[in-house]
């Protein structure tokens, strides 16, 4: 089994599979997976992934200890998962970025209009295709997938420009020339 599948299987035992799954889906997913498996091995004392999973399935104390260790190292795992974004942001700062800004501006400006048009198209499909349930279901699902993709694009662009939960304050501070966590002379960002 590949490390990502193993890590996701172990995480599903704790109920943290959605959160850890997001981290495993990035370009550093295998490194995150290796860390998750390492944590599980350290907690259980087992070396083989099948043994680790068996121990976690049968021993509630080991499972609880594994979940606690994941929570303890959550920040480290998240930082590892999104490390490639930091590199992209650094590269963005060091290069001419008019083309990237133009694409981002186009996404932010136009995607909501496309979403609105697709929603109207979906409503029209419901009205005109109500006699053809299979076609209506297919069209509605495809429209839903495209709408989600368009909204995800917007989310990625805003995430890039304004940062995520880990470094958003630094990105804002860099943009306005202040120190991290401070907007202007007296307004604080975040906790």
CA proximity to 175, closest of 71, 93, 55 = 93
Confidence of residue 3 (pLDDT cuts 50, 70, 90): confident
Give the model's pLDDT for residue 15.
81
CA separation (Å) from 190 to 89, 157, 166, 169? Answer: 20, 20, 11, 7
- Is pTM beyond 0.75? Reply is no
Between 90 and 185, where is the model more confident? 90
Between 124 and 175, where is the model more confident? 124
Residue 183 has pLDDT above 80, yes or no: no
Residue 175 has pLDDT above 60, yes or no: no
Query: 115 and 148 in contact (C-beta within 8 Å)?
Result: no
pLDDT tens figures, 57-114: 888 898 889 888 888 988 888 888 777 666 666 777 777 778 888 888 999 999 999 9
Residue 185 has pLDDT above 70, yes or no: no
Residue 28 has pLDDT above 80, yes or no: no
Alpha helices in 28-176 (DSSP H): 29-44, 49-58, 60-72, 74-81, 83-94, 98-128, 133-162, 168-176
Confidence of residue 186 (pLDDT cuts 50, 70, 90): very low
Query: 39 and 73 in contact (C-beta within 8 Å)?
Result: yes
């Amino acid at each position: 089994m590949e490390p990502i599948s193993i890590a996701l299987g172990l995480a599903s035992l704790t109920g943290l599979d959605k959160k850890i799954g997001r981290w495993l889906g990035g370009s550093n997913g295998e490194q995150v997976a290796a860390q998750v498996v390492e944590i599980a091995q350290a907690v259980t004392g087992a070396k083989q992934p099948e043994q680790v999973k068996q121990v976690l399935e049968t021993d509630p104390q080991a499972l609880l200890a594994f979940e606690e260790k994941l929570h303890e190292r959550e920040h480290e795992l998240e930082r590892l998962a999104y490390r490639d974004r930091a590199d992209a942001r650094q590269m963005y700062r060091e290069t001419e970025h008019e083309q990237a800004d133009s694409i981002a501006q186009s996404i932010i400006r136009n995607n909501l209009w496309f979403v609105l048009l697709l929603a109207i198209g979906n409503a029209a499909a419901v009205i005109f295709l109500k006699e053809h349930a299979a076609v209506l279901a297919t069209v509605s699902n495809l429209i839903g997938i495209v709408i989600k993709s368009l909204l995800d694009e917007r989310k990625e662009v805003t995430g890039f420009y304004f940062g995520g939960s880990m470094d958003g304050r630094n990105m804002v501070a860099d943009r306005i020339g202040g120190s991290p966590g401070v907007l202007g002379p007296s307004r604080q960002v975040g906790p």
